Amino acid sequence: MINFTFDGKAYQAQAGDTLAAALLRNGIGLVGRSFKYHRPRGIMTAGVEEPNALVTVGEGGRTEPNTRATDVFVYEGLVARSQNRWPSLSLDFGAILGLAAPIFSAGFYYKTFFGSAKRWMFYEYFIRKAAGLGDAPSEADPDHYSQRAAFCDVLVVGAGPAGLQAALEAAEAGKRVILVEQDSILGPSLIRDPQKLDAAWIEAIAARIRAAGGRILTRTTASGYWEHDLVTLTQRISEPGQVPADSVAQRLWHVRAGQVILATGSIERPMAFAHNDRPGVMLSQAVRTYVQRFGVTPGKRVVIATNNDDAYKTAHALQDAGAEIVAIIDARPAPAGADNGFPVHNDAVPLSTKGARHCLKSVSAQVGGVTKSWDADLLAVSGGFTPVVHLHMQAGGTLDWNEAAQAFVPAKSRQNVTTIGGAANPDPVFTVTPASNPKKSFIDFQNDVTLADVDLAWAEGYRSVEHLKRYTTLGMATDQGKLSNMAALGRLAEKQGVAIPEAGLTTFRPPYTPVTMGLFAGSGAKDGGAHIRRLALYDVHAAKNPIWQPLGYWFRPRAYPANGETMQQSSRREARTVRTSVGMTDVSTLAKFEISGPDAAAFLETVCATTVNKLAVGRGRYTFMLREDGFVFDDGTVWRLDENRYLLTSSTGGADRMATLLSYVRQYLCPQLRVSAVNVQEHYAGIAVAGPQAKAALTALIGEEPPRHMSTVPATIAGVPVIVLAASYSGERAFEIYVEASHATPVWAACETEVSAHGGCLFGMDAMDFLRIEKGHLVVGTEVDGRLTPQDLGLDKMLNKAGGFIGASGLSRTAFSEPGRRQLVGLEAIEGTIAEGAMLITREGETPQGHVTAAGIRVMEGGSIALGQLEGGFERHGEELIATSPTRGQKARIRVVQPHFYDSAGERYRD
């Protein structure tokens, strides 16, 4: 026996029970309240299509709301709670909504939304409180979700008789086979209807499939069919709410199949009649499943309503289990076969049911024009069978109408998929036209949609099935209309006066059954969706406990506060140290490429908008790149390390797209060039040393005169070979040291010793930003935002006059020389502090003429300064403007100036 609780009360289940079976075993008929009207609901099915018996299972972070009681297998300690009821399941105030049903008919939301806003405000509180399902847990899910790929020749979905046979044949033919079954056992329909093929037969087939190398997955749902025969499977390793034995709760499989065989069977349909949603009304095959598979007989006096032969099996099963068959209401005009001893009434359709909250008391039917009634505690209904065509349709298939079965069956497909078994050949049925009160005849049980709602939608002019769906919310619940869509289509076709296939179908979208969000997140659920890229010198920084800043997927030190400094104080101190003595920082994330070959310069002159080929060995220069339309795309530096070897650096954020651009030029645009362009971003760690004392520090480090500004030399630091580039981003005399990342630590340590000896310190990204803003140096992504040209940024003097680079033909567009373009300017505060992102205006209420791209301070003197883009900015130096940021609540009076606040003659970085 297995112990579990439902709404706090302890019960016992038997091994293999679904929660639904266990509840029925314990005589519990009322399981939930309906979505809209809070009507009492019980268990209607024995499968994933269950619309009514939705419960919350598990506790804390493992809580899973809206779980179908028919689709969770009881484990020791399972905790289940009913939903959408207050204060309790049996006494629910929300049921009053049932009395107010006319207000909440189809289109309620539409009408409310399109009505006055006041009306919505009035209803919103009420609706949010009353409508809805279980509550999402607020705690983090402690479990691990795996995502795994698999490849096979044949994927078989559904381990019924057809699926088992197909998998066996394929496996024994030497193919890689995967067989999936959403149930916990193979061949559940064979267990429901024991005939010649029994559990022993199933086990024997499964053993042969496994022996032939086939993989069989139970509790696994093929939930989505994607392009080129990719099928996603959701596997439950532990049950909802259960503590996983191996820490992994579920697995999402991506299966690429050579061929897919769908043996998905069919879903039994309910019938539409008044009060057909009462606990005690159950689908016929579900009744049989509870009797034959779980040994639970859900009723003692049973009425069966059917339009087909299959329901008679239920009659026999119930009789064998000791229940009394009070009546069989068969829609067909005459008996289908020999007398079976049951009280069969032909030409009969159900009309209504009566009962109490928890149970069914009687069933009435129209028998040949006469109304009859029977006392009963269970009504088993079979309205025919709907083939499960979801995957076939997701794969881009078409459907045929099977008139005898009154059902759509798979027809053509553009993928390599076939449907076999009951899903392809549903049983024939007799068409039943609903005859009772449409207002209480539910078709979508989960969203509380009745036949009357379909009629109303029609009356209000909604003709298309897609409109009908959205207006009534039919088929939009968590069961996605598995039981309801055919009934709705039938009603719509009747209204339109057409045959069902002409009424059209809505789209079958994945997933087939609801999927836990954690499964999509996979391991990403832990890191906020993506892995953090770790610096080669991470440990060195971490030991100093800096404030970290995300930069793309990287994390870089933002500031290194000391002695209780705030971040602001620390950044300012670090920047001042660079201005007055020397600072060092980690610049490893910069994009770096090594370009080799006799055509390296030609290659670079294609990528870069500046000249390269005149560069002498050992020299470097600033460069920038354009998009094909002429806008600036990225910037960096290019260094000639050797006759035929260059180093190109560019922005961190643009590293991946720069790698793509270089590859594009190399392989697609100019494949004839004799060049090799290798991404060495991670090969080299980079250390920048800047400040008036930088040269002295470098001299001590490399034991020789360091290179002059924009020159490079190979050197050795701490016995490790390095490349020293003399380039300045801060505006001070500065160097970048590149070292193979795996040997970066001793080089960093040596630099740190020397920097300290010269009165320096480490500086983070904030200090670097202060320094570069003051100097007017650009950042790709802020100043260079893809909307400015080289002219707009004041870079046009550096353009390669010979042309021939990417973007050259875009530069002569007339729009680029029209007045009023946004141009790079400096901004200094006259009053207040300039906010990053602030709008630039001349007076309140006007359309912004530009914006602040980066806000900083004068490092030594203090005072708020910024860089920005301003319409016609080059001509407006001296003008006073307002920089306003309503989102930050900051406003400043500013003056437009040159975008250089510090050493505009560029004397400090030269010797």
Partner 1 sequence: MQITCPHCGPRAQAEFVYERTVDSVVPLDATPEEAMKTLFTRNNPRGVDEEIWRHTFGCRAWMVITRHRVTNEITAIRAVGPEAIP
Partner 2 sequence: MTDVTITALPAPPLHVFEIWSEAGAVAKRFATATGFDLPIMGRSGGSDTLRLIRYEPTVWLVEGDASALTDVLGKDGALTAIGGGIVRVRLSGKGWRALLMEGGVFDAESASFASGCSAATIIDHVAVRLHVVSEDTCDAYVPLSYSTALMEFWHTAAETLTA
Which range, of 293-301, 476-484, 680-688, 814-822, touches partner 2 by CB under 8 A?
680-688
Verify binding: residue 675, partner 2, rule CB under 8 A: yes
Binding to partner 1 by CB under 8 A, coded x per residue (else -) over 381-420, reads: ---------------x-----------------x------
- Give the separation between CA 779 and CA 689, rounded to whole angstroms: 19
- Give the separation between CA 73 and CA 48, rounded to whole angstroms: 12
For residue 259, give the amino acid letter: Q
- Give the separation between CA 876 and CA 866, rounded to whole angstroms: 15
Q: Which does 678 bind (CB under 5 to 8 A by kind): partner 2, partner 1, none?
A: partner 2
Q: How many residues bind partner 1 (CB under 8 A)?
A: 31
Verify binding: residue 530, partner 2, rule CB under 8 A: yes
Residue with the two structure tokens 């076999």: 420
CB closer to partner 2, 657 vs 895:
657
Verify binding: residue 153, partner 2, rule CB under 8 A: no
* Cα–Cα distances in angstroms (integers) from residue 613 to residues 616, 727, 806, in the given order: 8, 19, 16
Q: Are 180 and 206 in contact (CB under 8 A)?
A: no
Radius of gyration of the chain (CA): 37
- For 94, other C-beta atoms within 10 Å of its C-beta total 18
Q: Which helix (H) or strand (E) holds 232?
A: strand 230-236
Cross-strand partners of 854: 867
Restricted to residues 218-277, the positions that interact with partner 2 (CB under 8 A) are: 237, 244-248, 251, 254, 256
- Which one of residues 28, 53, 793, 806 is an interface residue with partner 1 (CB under 8 A)? 806
Restricted to residues 600-659, the positions that interact with partner 2 (CB under 8 A) are: 644-645
Verify binding: residue 598, partner 1, rule CB under 8 A: no
- Give the separation between CA 304 and CA 379, rounded to whole angstroms: 6
- DSSP per residue, 426-491: PPP-------S-GGGBEEETTTTEEHHHHHHHHHTT--SHHHHHHHHTTT-STTTTTTTHHHHHHH
- DSSP per residue, 826-894: EEEEEES-PPTTPEEESSTTSPP-EEEEEEEE-TTT--EEEEEEEETGGGGTT-EEEEEETTTTEEEEE
- Give the separation between CA 22 and CA 29, rounded to whole angstroms: 11
Restricted to residues 713-772, the positions that interact with partner 2 (CB under 8 A) are: 739-744
- Which one of residues 128, 228, 614, 801 is an interface residue with partner 1 (CB under 8 A)? 228
Verify binding: residue 532, partner 1, rule CB under 8 A: no
Q: Which does 660 bind (CB under 5 to 8 A by kind): partner 2, partner 1, none?
A: partner 1
3-class SS of residue 522 = helix
Q: How far is the CB of 647 from partner 2 (least distance, A)?
A: 11
Buried b or exposed e, range 458-487, using 16+ CB within 10 angstroms? beeebeebeebbbbbbbbbbbbbbbbbbbb
- Give the separation between CA 638 and CA 606, rounded to whole angstroms: 13
Q: How far is the CB of 528 from partner 2 (least distance, A)?
A: 12
- Which one of residues 96, 136, 149, 830 is an interface residue with partner 2 (CB under 8 A)? 149
CB closer to partner 2, 254 vs 708:
254
CB closer to partner 2, 511 vs 552:
552
Residue with the two structure tokens 């329909």: 189
- Which one of residues 198, 527, 628, 831 is an interface residue with partner 1 (CB under 8 A)? 628
- Which one of residues 8, 497, 671, 819 is an interface residue with partner 1 (CB under 8 A)? 671
To the nearest 10 degrees (0 to 180), the angle between helices 284-292 and 310-320 is 40
- Which one of residues 198, 320, 502, 527 is an interface residue with partner 2 (CB under 8 A)? 527
CB closer to partner 1, 527 vs 628:
628
Long-range contacts of 182-187, Cβ-Cβ distance < 8 Å, separation of 24 or more: 182/48, 182/219, 182/220, 182/221, 182/222, 182/513, 183/159, 183/218, 183/219, 184/16, 184/73, 184/218, 184/219, 185/16, 185/218, 186/159, 186/216, 186/218, 187/159, 187/160, 187/161
Which range, of 202-210, 410-418, 678-686, 702-710, touches partner 2 by CB under 8 A?
678-686
- Which one of residues 26, 147, 184, 402 is an interface residue with partner 2 (CB under 8 A)? 147
- Which one of residues 111, 531, 888, 893 is an interface residue with partner 2 (CB under 8 A)? 531
CB closer to partner 1, 672 vs 887:
672
Verify binding: residue 153, partner 1, rule CB under 8 A: no
3-class SS of residue 410 = strand
Verify binding: residue 684, partner 2, rule CB under 8 A: yes
- Give the separation between CA 332 and CA 335, rounded to whole angstroms: 7
Which range, of 305-313, 409-417, 418-426, 529-537, touches partner 2 by CB under 8 A?
529-537
CB closer to partner 2, 545 vs 742:
742
Q: Are 397 and 70 in contact (CB under 8 A)?
A: no
For residue 369, give the amino acid letter: G
CB closer to partner 2, 581 vs 588:
588
Among 262, 515, 276, smallest CA distance to 393 is for: 262
- DSSP per residue, 756-819: HHTT-EE--HHHHHHHHHHHT---BTTTB-SS--TTTTT-GGGB-TT--STTGGGTT-GGGGST
CB closer to partner 2, 126 vs 151:
151
Which range, of 146-154, 305-313, 512-520, 778-786, touches partner 2 by CB under 8 A?
146-154
Restricted to residues 236-275, the positions that interact with partner 1 (CB under 8 A) are: 254, 256
3-class SS of residue 169 = helix
Q: How far is the CB of 510 from partner 2 (least distance, A)?
A: 18
- Give the separation between CA 301 and CA 500, rounded to whole angstroms: 36
- Give the separation between CA 205 and CA 211, rounded to whole angstroms: 10
CB closer to partner 1, 149 vs 617:
149
CB closer to partner 2, 538 vs 816:
538
Restricted to residues 583-602, the positions that interact with partner 2 (CB under 8 A) are: 594, 596-598
- Give the separation between CA 362 and CA 374, rounded to whole angstroms: 5
- Which one of residues 810, 832, 837, 872 is an interface residue with partner 1 (CB under 8 A)? 810
Kindly tell me the sign of the dihedral angle through the C-alpha atoms of 475, 478, 484, 486: positive
CB closer to partner 2, 522 vs 837:
522
- Give the separation between CA 457 and CA 451, rounded to whole angstroms: 10
Q: Which does 427 bind (CB under 5 to 8 A by kind): partner 1, partner 2, none?
A: none
Q: Are 89 and 33 in contact (CB under 8 A)?
A: yes
Q: How far is the CB of 227 from partner 1 (least distance, A)?
A: 5
Verify binding: residue 667, partner 1, rule CB under 8 A: yes
Q: Which does 684 bind (CB under 5 to 8 A by kind): partner 1, partner 2, none?
A: partner 2
Q: How far is the CB of 396 from partner 1 (least distance, A)?
A: 7
Q: Which does 782 bind (CB under 5 to 8 A by kind): partner 2, partner 1, none?
A: none
3-class SS of residue 121 = helix
Verify binding: residue 812, partner 1, rule CB under 8 A: yes
Verify binding: residue 554, partner 2, rule CB under 8 A: yes
Which range, of 48-56, 63-71, 147-155, 486-494, touches partner 2 by CB under 8 A?
147-155
**Which residues lie near partner 1 (CB under 8 A)?**
149, 227-230, 254, 256, 396, 414, 606, 628-629, 660, 663-664, 666-672, 804-806, 808-813
**Which residues lie near partner 2 (CB under 8 A)?**
144, 146-151, 237, 244-248, 251, 254, 256, 522-524, 527, 530-536, 553-554, 594, 596-598, 644-645, 673-676, 678-685, 739-744
